[in-house]
Chains A and B, each alone.
Chain A
C-alpha cells in the first residue's frame, strides 16, 4: 500500500514539477491544484478510512464515527495468529533487507565501475523483476522451487522477496555510486590505503545514504508484499498480509482494520526514519 502510494505520489510530483512557464495564468494553476488534490485524495482517502475505522467502536466504516475505542487493537495483540504473522513479517523483512542490500551493493559496484560486454543487457536483467507481473513471477518461482526441490516455507518467501526488492534497492544504491567522485578513492589509495581500506573508509561511508535507503525500502517492500508470498508460502508459514487476506475471505473482522493500520504505520515509520537519517547526515556535513 505504502509502495503504491509512493510510486503514484512520485509520479504526480514529477508531472507537477514540469514548469510550463509563468504565462500560463492563474486558471491553469488552479486546475492543476484541483487535479493534484483529486489524485492525492484518491490515493490516500482509503488508507485514511482504514485508520479511522480501526478506532471506530462500530467496527464498520460508519460516518461520523460514534466514538473512539482501542478495542480492536487489544483484540489484535491477543490474537496469536496475527502476532506470529507479524513476527514472521519482521524477520523476513530484516533478512530481505540485508540480502538485497549486499547483492545491490555488489551489483552497483560492478555496474558503475566496469565496462564489459552486454553491460546494458545485464543491467536491464536486474530491473526485469519490476516488469514481470506478480502472478507470473509467483507461478515461475513456485515451479522453480519445485524443480530444485526447495520446500515451500520461510526461505522460499525470503528468496521471492529478495527477487522482488532487489531492483528497487539496486536503483537507490546505484544512484549513490553514480554521484560518487572517483578521485576520492584515488586520493585514498594515493595516501597509502589499500583497496579494502579505501572501500571501508571512503567509498562505503559516502554511498551510505543510498545503502540505508535501499535497505529500508527492501524491508518495506518485503513487509507488505502479498502476491508472490501467496504463491510461494505454502501452508506452514504466514506473513501478516497473508493472514489479513485469509481473514477477510471469511469475515470482515474489525481486527483487520487495526492490523492494516499497523502495517501502514510500520511502512511509513521505516521510510520516514530513512529520510530523517538522510537529513541529519546532510546537516552534519553542511
Chain B
C-alpha cells in the first residue's frame, strides 16, 4: 500500500453561500512535492489552510498519516506553514524567529542555538541570526520563514504562494532552491500557486483547482500534455483550443470535425456524436504550401486549408497566426531552420498535425 502523508476525503468548506472548497479528495504520497494550482478564488489557499488547521472543513475529513484531524488546532498538528508575506515576528531577531517553535517545545537553549545555526546554513544565510526581519531583503526573509517552519521537523510543509512577492529572477532562483531543500529534508511539500510555470518547474504532482474542485490531479507532464478539461488546457497556457464533434470512431482512433475539416486523432473510447474539444500545441503544427488530393499526408497527418493572418519573428521560431474557415484561429510555431520555408501574410497554406499530437479534451 502506498504511504500517504496527507489524505483529503470529500472536503467541503463554505463561506456564506459560496462553496470555497467543494468535495475535494486527494491522496498525497510521502516525500512528494505537490502543487495546488489554480486562479485566485479557486479554493487552493482554503484547502491549504484546512490542512494546516487554520480553517476546518464543514464536511469531509482530512487525515495526516492516517489520523483524522477533525477540529484540531494548528499547534496540535504536525504541519507547518510558510506564509505568503512570511509573517516573521518583527519584534524578534532572526535566530529567535527560527528558534520560536523549538522554544515552545521546551528544547534546551544550547540545542536551539545549534539547530538554528544548522537551519541558517541550510537556507544559506549563515551569520545573520542577530539581524531583525526588516533588515533583510524579501528573498532573505523568505528563507528565514522556510527555516522557521523546517526547524520543527514537520511531517508536511505547507507553502502559500511563498514566492509571490519576489521579482522574476529571484523567483526562478528560489524555485530551484526550494526543490533542492525539499530533496534534502525529504518531507512532503504542499505548495499553492497560480503560476503554471512555477508549478511545472517544481512539482512531482499537480492538482489543478477551479471553483472549489480539483479539475485534474496528476504528474506535471500529464497535466501539461494531456489536460483532462478545457479549463486545465486553458490554464496551462494552451493557445489552440477548438470545439470539435466526433463523426466516426473505432478502437484506437477517431475522426473529428473541427473548424470545417475532418481530422484523424489517436484517441480511444470516443463515440460518434460526442462533443469534445481539440487542443494542439503551436509547435506541433506543420505548415506547407502544398495540398494533397484529400488533404491527408504521407504520415497520416490531417489538417485545414488556412490563411496566414500575421507572423511574428521569435528568434528560434516563427509564430504564425492562422485564419481557419468559419472564423476560427490557430497559432503555429515553426522552427527557423536554415533554408526552411517562409510564408507571407495572406498566403494560403496547409496546416497539418499528426494524429498523436492532437489532444482530445472531453470535459
Contact = CB atoms under 8 A, between A and B. Distances in A.
B104 A191 contact: yes
Nearest to A184: B87
A140 B209 CA distance: 62
A285 B152 contact: no
A187 B75 contact: no
Contacts of A192: 75, 101, 104-105, 152
Contacts of B100: 188, 191, 193, 201
A193 B149 CA distance: 13
B72 to A, nearest CB: 11
Given A191-B152, A192-B105, A285-B132, A183 B75 contact: no
A194 B54 CA distance: 13
A190 B134 contact: no
Given A206-B90, A285-B132, A193 B83 contact: no
Nearest to A186: B54
B12 interface: no
A205 B105 CA distance: 20
B85 interface: yes
Contacts of B81: 186-187, 190
Given A190-B52, A190-B75, A193-B75, A183 B85 contact: yes
B91 A285 contact: yes
Contacts of B73: 189
A286 interface: yes
Interface in A173-219: 181, 183-184, 186-194, 197, 201-202, 205-206
Interface residues of B, number: 25
Interface string B80-113: 1101010111110000000011001100000000
A193 B132 CA distance: 21
B43 to A, nearest CB: 19
Contacts of B129: none
Contact of A191 (B54, B85, B101): B101
Contacts of A184: 87, 89-90
Given A191-B104, A192-B101, A285-B90, A186 B83 contact: yes
B50 to A, nearest CB: 13
- What range describes how many residues of A lie at the interface? 10 to 19
B323 to A, nearest CB: 50
A184 B85 CA distance: 10
B108 to A, nearest CB: 16
A118 B56 CA distance: 27
A186 B87 contact: yes
Contacts of A181: 85, 87
B74 A286 contact: no
Contacts of B152: 191-192
Given A186-B74, A189-B73, A189-B74, A202 B89 contact: yes
Contacts of B89: 184, 187-188, 202
Nearest to B145: A187
B230 interface: no
B80 A191 contact: yes
A191 B90 CA distance: 16
B101 A183 contact: no
Nearest to B132: A285
Interface in B108-124: none
B83 A197 contact: no
Given A183-B83, A192-B152, 19 more contacts: A181-B87, A183-B85, A184-B90, A186-B54, A186-B81, A186-B83, A187-B89, A189-B73, A190-B52, A190-B149, A191-B80, A191-B104, A191-B149, A192-B101, A192-B105, A193-B75, A285-B91, A285-B132, A286-B134
Q: Which 10 pairs across A and B sit closest by C-beta, in order of nearness?
A: A191-B101, A187-B87, A183-B87, A192-B104, A189-B74, A190-B74, A193-B104, A189-B75, A205-B91, A190-B81
28 contacts: A181-B85, A183-B83, A183-B87, A184-B89, A186-B87, A187-B81, A187-B83, A187-B88, A187-B148, A190-B52, A190-B74, A191-B75, A191-B104, A191-B148, A191-B149, A191-B152, A192-B75, A192-B105, A192-B152, A193-B75, A193-B100, A193-B101, A193-B104, A201-B100, A206-B91, A285-B90, A285-B134, A286-B132
